[in-house]
Amino acid sequence: MNRELSAAIRQAMEEQGIDARLTLNILNAWNSGKSRQESVRAGGFPAPDGKTILDMTRLEGYSVSEKAARRALAPLLPGIRVENFSAAKDGTLFFPRESLETLGTLLFPYVSFGVLNGGSATSYCDTKKNEAFSARLFNLLRGPFGESAAAARGRPKGITPAYANPCGSPGRSFLELKLRNLLLQTRRWRALVPRFPGAYGASAPGALEPFAPVFQMTSVFTNADIAEAFQAYKTSPLLEGLIAETGVDITRVETGVQPLIAAFTSSSAGERREIFTNAWGKPGSVLGLPGGHGQNFLVLKDIYRRLREAGKRFVYLGNVDNLGFTPDPAGIAVLALSGSPAGFDFAFKTAVDTKGGVLVRDSRRRLTCADIGPAVSAREVAAAEQSGIPILFNAATGLFDLDYLVTHRAEISAGIPLRWSDQDKDAGRYSQAEQVTWEVIGLLDNPLIFGVDKFRRFLAAKLLLESLMTSGLGLESEEFPENLRALALALREGFVWNMENSFGMKLSGGVWTAAEEISGSSI
């Protein structure tokens, strides 16, 4: 066991919001050898097969046994006739894409939407990091970069501008847009329900509201600012009218606050780790760090349980900074029909997807997510691409069966490996331990993989300059870097599609505006 902490170190931890018990549990597990888990060993790159790995960009429908379909839908939509949504052949039902969209929409009340909030937008707005992405693009967009950075720096990333308007001004936040999408989809649900009287049986699904309550994981540093933002969103012009129209207060949110864990000594100091107590070169100083989004299965455990007890059956979970992370009715229907424990979005890889996880089969032939570099070499990925094998790149979106998640939450939380990495930063040389959410895939039997369009479902923004490029800024200029132009055009097309179709926004005077605010328009 690790030595006891001194009173001074405990006090320093408490002042930074560091969970001393969790820190010691992680440290002792490492030093005892219990957390020494092997890295993923890739055994091949699986391609869409129409059963477990679905190409959602071309999906014509989904087949499942009649028995399984009736068993899945009977407790959720007892008043519908399955045969009206499918074609039968030899005990198998084929549900066309249109039927999946309809069934998925009818299932909205059984779904809650959850976001993993990142930290403060520090690295996101860092001048050196952004300039390193493309000095030429940075110089071209220096003005809007400065304006958006001023609106974002030091704030939780989810409540910072998710895009820039064509005029260069900062746009609405990531969270605000996601909440608007949920309300617009709720509106579509309300319009659909009268076409299927009695779909929910003798009564509607109780007090369940589509996608509500929204839930989230924040941190001790970001929670207060995010809570304040949710209160302000109640009167947002993007949300207030839709809240009144749908009767759903989408700003009511369930929150789990992620504690910090302490940094540990670097591997250069020896295989046995200790708590790093020389932060910023000051003896006795500790450094608080997040333990990775994979901790959500621990931090949100009570929320998952309460949602299931309230009647919810599925939960979405994804990163706040992905504009493409919105509910997909067809995906909801497929997961419900399949009986699978979860489904995960993977975008078809593009040339710029060089860092992150890709879908592989491990040495046991199980599907899992492996990081390019540590788990599978960039050379292997490139060779597979050149041979024509489609590579699926993790889009950081999951849809979980809540029964499975609640029942298996403890083993999932314990089973996601801790990934240790050495850091050499201004605070010193130390190591940090993190759990990656999407390594849960390798723990599940028969997970579904949804192959999605990157430019519609995976508009991630790791750097502010990427966000400005996705917004389409500077594309008309001759100074725009030619090596980025094709990518920027594709990103802008996906961004515009989402703004118009996912978020009900229209351009007016160079500013993206809620469509209902523009006279004579409708959404």
Q: Is residue 2 part of a domain?
A: no
Per-residue confidence at 236, pLDDT binned at 50, 70, 90? very high
Q: For 392-419, what is the mean pLDDT?
A: 93
pLDDT in tens, 287-314: 988 888 899 999 999 999 999 999 999 9
Name the more confident of 29 and 87: 87
Strand locations in 32-102 (E): 53-55, 61-65, 87-89, 92-96
Cβ contact 57:330 at 8 Å: no
pLDDT in tens, 346-387: 998 877 677 788 999 887 888 998 888 767 888 888 888 888
The alpha-helical segments, DSSP class H, found in 83-160 are 97-106, 122-125, 127-133, 135-140, 142-152
Q: Over 90: is that where the pLDDT of 434 sits? A: no
Q: Over 50: is that where the pLDDT of 5 sits? A: yes
Q: Is residue 1 part of a domain?
A: no
Q: For 128-134, what is the mean pLDDT?
A: 90
Q: Over 70: is that where the pLDDT of 40 sits? A: no
Q: Is residue 324 part of a domain?
A: yes
Q: What is the mean pLDDT of the chain?
A: 91
* Cα 256–Cα 258–Cα 262 angle in degrees, nearest 5: 165
Q: Over 70: is that where the pLDDT of 230 sits? A: yes
Q: What pLDDT score was predicted for residue 523?
A: 55
Least confident of 36-50, 63-77, 272-286, 330-344: 36-50
What percentage of the chain carries pLDDT values higher than 90?
70
Q: Give CA–CA dist 116/14, Å, rounded.
A: 24
Q: Is residue 244 part of a domain?
A: yes
Q: Is residue 65 part of a domain?
A: no
Our count of domains for the chain comes to 1
With 0-12 / 13-18 / 19 or more C-beta atoms within 10 angstroms meaning exposed / middle / buried, residue 269 is: middle
Per-residue confidence at 2, pLDDT binned at 50, 70, 90? very low
Q: What pLDDT score was predicted for residue 1?
A: 39
Per-residue confidence at 204, pLDDT binned at 50, 70, 90? low
Closest CA to 413 of 307, 299, 287: 299
Q: For 390-416, what is the mean pLDDT?
A: 93
Q: Is residue 414 part of a domain?
A: yes
CATH classification of the domain holding 488: 3.90.550.10
Q: Is residue 417 part of a domain?
A: yes
Q: What pLDDT score was predicted for residue 29?
A: 86
Domain span at residue 37? 7-60+75-517
Q: For 114-137, what is the mean pLDDT?
A: 88
Closest CA to 340 of 403, 297, 416, 296: 403
What 301-304 contacts at long range (C-beta under 8 Å, 24+ apart), as own/partner pairs, is 301/409, 301/413, 302/256, 303/215, 303/254, 303/256, 304/402, 304/405, 304/406, 304/409
Q: Over 80: is that where the pLDDT of 37 sits? A: no
Q: Is residue 67 part of a domain?
A: no
